[in-house]
Amino acid sequence: MKDFQPQEFSSRDDHPYPSRAGSNPPDHRQLARRLLDQHPSFQGIDRTRAFDNPPGSSCRISLPESIGPYRVTDHIGRGAFGNVYLCREPEPPRKNVAVKVIRAGKDTDEVLARFEAEKVALKMMEHPAIARVIDAGATDDGHPYFAMEYVKGLSLTAFCIKKRLTLEERLRLFINICQGVQHAHTKAVVHRDLKPSNILVTLIDGVPQPKIIDFGLVKSLQQPLVEGTMHSQAGIALGTFEYMSPEQANPSGTDVDTRSDIYALGAILYELLTGELAFAGLRERTYMEIVRVITKDEPLLPSLRLKSVTAESSSGHASTLKTEIGTLTRCLKSDLDWVVMKTLEKDPERRYQTAQELARDIERYLAGEMVEARPPSAIYRLKKTVRRNRGLLSATVLVFLALSGGLTLYLVERGKRLASEVKIEQMIEQFRPSRIDVPAMAVDLSQDVFRLGRENVPDSRIVDLEQALAIDWIEVAKNNVMKSYFAPALAAIEKDFSEQPRVRARLLESLAMAMSKIGLSGAALPLQEKALSIRREILGNDHRDTLLSISNTGMLLKRRGNYKEAQPFYVEALEERRRVLGDDDPDTLDSINNMGILLKLQGNLVEAKALHEEALEGRRRVLGDDDSDTLASINNMGSLLIKLGKLAEAKLFFEEALERKRRVLGNDDPSTLNTISNMGRLLRCQGELDEAMRFLREALATSHRVLGDKHPDTLMVINSAGLVLVKQEKYEEAQLLLEEALETRLQVRGHDHRDTLVSINNMGYLKKCQGKPEEAKPYYEEALERRRRVLGDDDPATLGSMHNLGALYRDLGRLKEAETLAAEAVERGRANEARCLGRFIDGHSHTLAEMGRFAEAEPLAVEAWSILEGKGDATHPLTVDVIDNLVDLYRAWHEADPGAGHDKSAAKWQGKLDALEAARAAETAAAPPPAGDAVPEKGQG
């Protein structure tokens, strides 16, 4: 008799968690503080130093007497590469120089060799906006150093704020900076780390004079072993994140040229104009998230950034420019928005190609001429002409402009609405399945928070720390995404489109679908229901968009496990699409497929098979064999045939799906990976264990590389591979994998998540298969206790644990306890129409037979067989197992009561069993595992 087995195969290609994107929510330190503060074990601990002070912030620098030939007089700064000292030249006129000593970890000979290669070009640079690099050498302890022209000034941003430079003054200062950069570029020298702190400003004859420092040093320091802010063997980028171009952020870092400096100039200009960074909060993110932001996200227009910050902040910034916020915003909204955004283009080809081009465009702005940063439309040219020639406008032109004001206002307002709509759609698009990976976010978040907590927790408190942080980090990540992104998008939809119901419905549905894809179906459902209500009202029930909303509402309910509530929506969508759109419309085929999936989940396998066959045939005919929907249908057919026990037929579909997916999508696509895993699980069921491990090892290697070690899908493959090793009786290897799955799920998902409870169950399964029932017992008992508490007594997984623990108690001879659990599983299974009711009834029958209560066991065993056969499971291994139990029951009953004719009943059922075994042998499917085996669980988030 088999123990409980939930669904083993993934039938859908729409994963709730897609390929790894490296995403990670902000505010890890704040979250770490909050989690530690909330845990009683950590009350009273001083966390200020651990969380707030940067490493070494309290350390004093001891001054060396000299660095090379230069006498040290003061320590004047610390940067990414090392410390900077104020020194005096050894020979008259003994000018002050700034000497930068590079921190440990740099290969001195390699650094100096690179500097020598750059020295000729560096010495050719003679420009008032560039601080010259004079010399290079090595300290007595082997650290490379560089001597530079000393500039006594403030950083660019500090100078602008202190001197309260106006907008025009800032732009003219920026033009001087561009001219210095242009000079260096003509000498084939790229800075690679332009930022305000590398641009010092001083007053010469009352005029601000910029001096760019560190030109040439960054390239000299670039080498394979450099750490920190440079490209290293780990692929960390060279430069400063806030001013780094997308090509620099790319781990290869091979496409950096002068246009990377143009991007940095744009980021600097953005900050000068708005007082804000183009991308704020990068330092609170993981490295891969920083790269994604720099290479994928678009910054807000400078004028919009002013509106996005607090009134106090924006007004304060405007006051430093000696203007009002409204005036500053209007200035930016003209040409400066477009000048800045042209410098910040992701594609270098779309930026200004030289610093000189950028400077000239700013000069055009200051002169009231047209800038090149955007197409000069007729209206745009007219506005420039008006600005330069206000006194020459005729009364006729003024009258025309007045009359056209209404139209202009309409166009402006319409443009604002369209811009808002596009912005919301872009926000939603960031969280499409291909662009966000919540499990990856959760892994990074848990590791970062644990690391931050570990910084101030002694070794004796590590256990307390682990307990404090033993939570479901995926839920934390999802909630963080909801708060940071989806909630603002929803607020914008409700605010900006309350008077445009059709647009509002479309955006609400897009938002609901994006939320659902990352596991927020509960929060998404009200939005989807609202979208459906709007469309029913304004479009009618027969409109294609309304039918889509009906279908999507059913899908969200299904994803939440509300199969009964989902069915009316699926039925309505299917019937109306057949009537309105026809059987061959792709939307109708979607409904046919979705209805088949729902029926399979409800246990109606015969009707589900007919629908899956119809969907597959239609998709092959209408969409072609290689379409993604067709490939999903092929996979779904294989999954359904597994449920029907037709393993040989299922294998044909999986083989076709895998061949096409490898060719069309590639081996690394999550859908391909899903089918590879399914092949491994199928082969395990067929008893082809070596072949199963071949597929699972491939899936595991790809999952580790593409998804990451701690992604739920990776852990699912680890789990499956461990179960194959159990079947191969390679128990030590199996234990390593199953323990890895359990420990990682505990770390990422917490003690009470479904996946963690599956791993606890499977550890019990391993021990039972090893013939160690006493060691299996605590795992099965823990799984049941937690499932009762977390999921409730009637959850299918809880019923499965009742069944499994009851079977184990039966093997241990604890028959009364076994019967109590088996009876409860059956009672609750009947009340909830559980899909596995037949198995539960069979388990109860088996236990009653062991107790010698044959008259009670017989009707239950026959009922179990009837249920499974009625579902179309006539040749399924579980059906065969039930018949085998019936044979054993009648034989044992015959031994107890030889004259009652139970031997004839045993012979009748033995005949059925032989026929089914022959049928299964004809399908080349393997026999079921021995009676009494526990059946493991897959575990899917």
Residues with a catalytic annotation lie at 193
Handedness of CA 409, 415, 418, 423 (dihedral sign): negative
SS3 of residue 89 by DSSP: coil
If you compute the radius of gyration of the chain from its CA atoms, what whole number of angstroms results?
Answer: 35
- Select from 423, 291, 415, 265 the least CA-distant residue to 353: 265
Q: Which two tokens stand for residue 593?
A: 């497929």
Cis peptide before 93 (omega within 30 of 0): yes
* Phi-psi category of residue 203: left, alpha or beta, with phi > 0 → left and psi -120 to 50 → alpha: beta
Number of residues written out for the chain = 941
Could you give the C-alpha distances from 919 to 122, 279, 861, in angstroms and in order? Answer: 84, 65, 22
Q: Which two tokens stand for residue 63?
A: 């001054």
> Amino acid identity, residue 190?
V
Dist CA 764 CA 778 (whole Å): 8
* Phi-psi category of residue 561: left, alpha or beta, with phi > 0 → left and psi -120 to 50 → alpha: left
Q: Which two tokens stand for residue 677?
A: 């895993």
Order the strands of the 66-67 sheet from edge to edge.
66-67, 70-78, 82-88, 96-102, 144-149, 133-138
Containing 101, the helix (H) or strand (E) segment is strand 96-102
- Select from 432, 551, 523, 495 the least CA-distant residue to 503: 495
Assess contact for 557 and 525: CB atoms under 8 A: yes
Q: Which two tokens stand for residue 42?
A: 């950590």
- Select from 196, 149, 152 the least CA-distant residue to 177: 196
- Select from 373, 359, 390, 125 the least CA-distant residue to 261: 359
Helices and strands per DSSP (H, E), number in the chain: 41, 9
Dist CA 431 CA 486 (whole Å): 9
Dist CA 611 CA 922 (whole Å): 26
User: H/E/C letters for each residue in 851-909?
Assistant: CCCHHHHHHHHHHHHHHHHHCCCCCCHHHHHHHHHHHHHHHHHHHHCHHHCHHHHHHHH
Other CB atoms within 10 Å distance of the CB of residue 350: 13
Which residues, in sequence order, are CB contacts of 839 under 8 Å at separation 6+? 2, 4, 5, 803, 864, 878
Q: Helix axis angle, 628-643 relative to 670-686, nearest 10°?
A: 20
Assess contact for 837 and 867: CB atoms under 8 A: yes
Which residues, in sequence order, are CB contacts of 223 under 8 Å at separation 6+? 106, 107, 110, 111, 114, 230
Dist CA 593 CA 626 (whole Å): 17
- Phi and psi at 788, nearest 5°, equal -60, -45
Q: What is the DSSP string of 308-359?
A: HS-HHHHHHHHHHTTS-HHHHHHHIIIIIHHHHHHHT-SSGGGS-SSHHHHH
Could you give the C-alpha distances from 207 to 116, 129, 140, 359, 909, in angstroms and in order? Answer: 35, 13, 41, 18, 104
